[in-house]
Structure 1
Amino acid sequence: MRELFDIRSSRIIVTGGGSGIGAELAWGLAELGASVAATYHSRLEAPSGTYTVAGPKMYRMDLEGIVRDDLQALWRFAEDSLGGSPNVLVNCAGINLREWMWDYSWEDWNQVLDVNASAVFKLAQFMAQNCKARDARAKIINISSLTSITGGRRCIAYTASKHAVAGLTKALAAELGPFGITVNAVAPGYIHTEMTDQLITDEALSAPFLARIPLGRWGSVADMVGPVAFLVSAASDYMTGTTLVVDGGYLSA
């Protein structure tokens, strides 16, 4: 039974591994025994402690406007770093540019959709093409958001992009299932990261949100590791096209 949750044979690419949920996933999955290569944005420094035997191998890569050459370079890095072809992709990189709909520029709209949705498709397509060519099974895990289920104020592009991720997850699952590739998503609720810090640290602004969470606390990035590890593991082999919600019960309240 233990083998169901053993991920030591997993070779994982995690995008957005430079901060927040992505960094926690990269390190958490590595600590559970997986081999992990993680991307981080050029504006960030590689997280300390990287390039160790136990930790994730870090790769600087901007996801805005990625082309096939970028994906091939990432794949080669992952193959060299992980000792074989990746068999798991965790799409976690994401940005949110907050503004009211009236004032949202097309440039900002395109940037958010490019990183949060288009890059997810491009990475998933490239992963699937490589695995299909080798007749290899694989898992794709997309980090979506509560806003893939609800709406939101001052985050119109982010909300649209996460709805796109939810749709991509289902469509990819339907197309890739016959080739032994599963595609699922994890939707975090109010997880305390740099992206949500402004909301969470403002007691007056955040009070109504916290009051709606039955578990009575904000989520931590560590709360995301278990659900993602489950989707990486063999325990989830008969799941595809679904979304796990990690929100402390927010949507049920």
Structure 2
Amino acid sequence: MRYNLYSVKNKNIVISGASSIIALKTIEKFLEDDAVIYTIVSSEKSVKILKEKFKDRIHIYVCDLCEDKNVKELSEKFQLVSKVDILINFIGIAGDETKDKLNEELFMKIFNTNFFSIVRFIKYFSKYMDAGSSILNIASTLGIRAIPNSIAYSTSKAALIHFSKCLSLEYAPRGIRVNCISPGYFYSDMTKSIVDNQNSYKNLLQKIPMARLLESDEIVPFIRLIVSEAGAYITGANIVMDGGTSCW
């Protein structure tokens, strides 16, 4: 019988932004495959979340990826790992971007976190990646469409999508694949205020052709497809999962 193409068994997987809802779901499913998981988070609060959920089944590192020095030092700790098979970036923050509150400081904070931290992370960790390895960046449907009060967030995600496409060309000769997934609206810390408000939630659903939110469980199978051997010919792609919202 042919080897399961969707399996990540015994793969060394490094995950940044590891305490997000989708990241937690992904880690849970990959552990079922006996993958070796290394997680990167930026706060002790996130460490607590991971330890409570996964105990000692994963490796946890605390690092502020917004500082180049920190990322470089973190990457040096991985010399004992010797190889990274899969690199997944879930990093992302939003902010109050109403016209009167958007300023250069907020713009740079969001861009540094959502874009440049991932650029740094890949820069230092890709040296551990060989042919057959895979990089996946989690972007957003707002990276391909515009809505009010989301200039910095949307622009940072658009940059991430295009960066991933460009990087896929640079890394293709090395046999390393680079892709994006752009989810639509799903329940998270970023959307909680909208979803928990009956009127705003109703208005949101009217903008989604499928008239429902994306379930976090629906994203994990696509992550598995892209990073596993099943997606061996997929690179430079941006898979949009938004219920058709970007179609109008």
With normalisation by structure 2, the TM-score equals 0.89
Q: CA 1:202–1:36 in 2, change beyond 3 Å: closer, same or farther?
A: same
Aligned to 2:97: 99
Shift of residue 144, structure 1, vs aligned partner: 0.3
Q: For each residue in 1:129-151, what CA deviation from the matched residue of structure 2 results, as whole angstroms up to 9, or x when unmatched?
A: 333xxx54311000000111101
* 1:97 maps to amino acid: G
Shift of residue 183, structure 1, vs aligned partner: 0.3
Give the secondary-structure state (helix, strand or coil) at the position aligned to 1:185: strand
Structure 1, unpaired ranges of 5+: none
Aligned to 1:191: 186
* Matching of residues 1-12 of structure 1 within 5 Å: 1=2, 3-12=4-13
Q: CA 1:152–1:31 in 2, change beyond 3 Å: closer, same or farther?
A: farther
Q: For each residue in 1:11-62, what CA deviation from the matched residue of structure 2 results, as whole angstroms up to 9, or x when unmatched?
A: 1111111232222222332233322111122152422133433xx3222222
* 1:244 maps to amino acid: I
Aligned to 1:22: 23
Give the secondary-structure state (helix, strand or coil) at the position aligned to 1:173: helix
Which of these residues, 206, 212, 218, is aligned with residue 211 of structure 1? 206
Distance 2:18 2:114 in 1: 14
Identity of aligned residues (%): 25
Kept after mapping to 2: 8 A contact 1:128/1:176: no
Give the secondary-structure state (helix, strand or coil) at the position aligned to 1:3: coil
Kept after mapping to 2: 8 A contact 1:21/1:193: no
Distance 1:222 1:32 in 2: 16
Q: Does 2:143 correspond to 1:143?
A: no
Distance 2:144 2:97 in 1: 20
Give the secondary-structure state (helix, strand or coil) at the position aligned to 1:126: helix
Q: For each residue in 1:211-233, what CA deviation from the matched residue of structure 2 results, as whole angstroms up to 9, or x when unmatched?
A: 33343321222222111111111
Which of these residues, 153, 164, 173, is aligned with residue 168 of structure 2? 173
Aligned to 1:109: 107
Distance 1:154 1:75 in 2: 39
Shift of residue 73, structure 1, vs aligned partner: 2.1
Give the secondary-structure state (helix, strand or coil) at the position aligned to 1:215: coil
* Matching of residues 1-253 of structure 1 within 5 Å: 1=2, 3-42=4-43, 44-46=45-47, 47=49, 48-53=52-57, 56-67=58-69, 69-74=70-75, 76-77=77-78, 84-131=82-129, 135-252=130-247
Q: CA RMSD in A?
A: 2.1
Distance 1:75 1:223 in 2: 35
Q: CA 1:5–1:45 in 2, change beyond 3 Å: closer, same or farther?
A: closer
Q: CA 1:246–1:22 in 2, change beyond 3 Å: closer, same or farther?
A: same
Q: CA 1:250–1:32 in 2, change beyond 3 Å: closer, same or farther?
A: farther
Give the secondary-structure state (helix, strand or coil) at the position aligned to 1:33: coil
